[in-house]
Amino acid sequence: MSDDPGSNEKFHKSLALYTVLASRPTTDSHTRLVCLAKKASLLDMHPSIRTFDTTCSKLRQEDAKTLLPSASFGALLVDRVTTTHDLAVAYKESGDAINASAAYDRAVQLMQELPKELLKIDEKPISFADMLAEWADVEQSLGRTTKASKIRDRSSKERQNI
């Protein structure tokens, strides 16, 4: 993906298409999974997000906020977290606990990397504690009781910090 306006327009059109297809009530579960996976992949490949990922890992959390040039970029980062969470839920609903576990792990990691200012968005569809609790349920279904217990403990601590 280059920085030319045509490429940016193509990115946003593709993102909108996958969003619409994934959210339609008439979309079957397999197509929804594919659309969410494509959308997550598109967001991960966006040059600004790739730069943020590379730079953010080298910075402390407080310094990461300086990397947010615009509200629209912040919205892309939040969209990536929610898309990855939606993908985890879709895997869970399809009975694919292994991929659901991996997607929850990724969603939690992405949410932790967001600058704290973005976590205060009112329209946030799920809290960090709820996401951890869902992930713990998936780990439990896989028989990973120790990991599930640790994730539940972490979820409880997050709820206390709210």
Domain that holds residue 148: 127-162
Whether residue 64 has pLDDT greater than 70 = no
Into how many domains does the chain fold? 2
The C-alpha atoms of residue 135 and residue 102 are separated, in whole angstroms, by 9
Same domain for 148 and 77:
no
The confidence score (pLDDT) of residue 2 equals 47
106 with 136, same domain: the answer is no
Digit-coded pLDDT (tens) for 77-103: 889 999 999 999 999 999 999 999 999
Burial letters for 74-95: b for 16+ Cβ neighbours within 10 Å, e otherwise? Answer: bebbbbbbbbbbbbbbbbbeee
Looking at the structure, do residues 9 and 73 belong to the same domain, yes or no? yes
pLDDT tens track for 117-142 = 666 554 555 788 899 999 999 999 99
50 & 105 share domain: yes
Q: Give the separation between CA 37 and CA 148, rounded to whole angstroms.
A: 25
Helix, strand and coil in the chain, % to nearest 5: 80, 0, 20
The pTM is what?
0.81
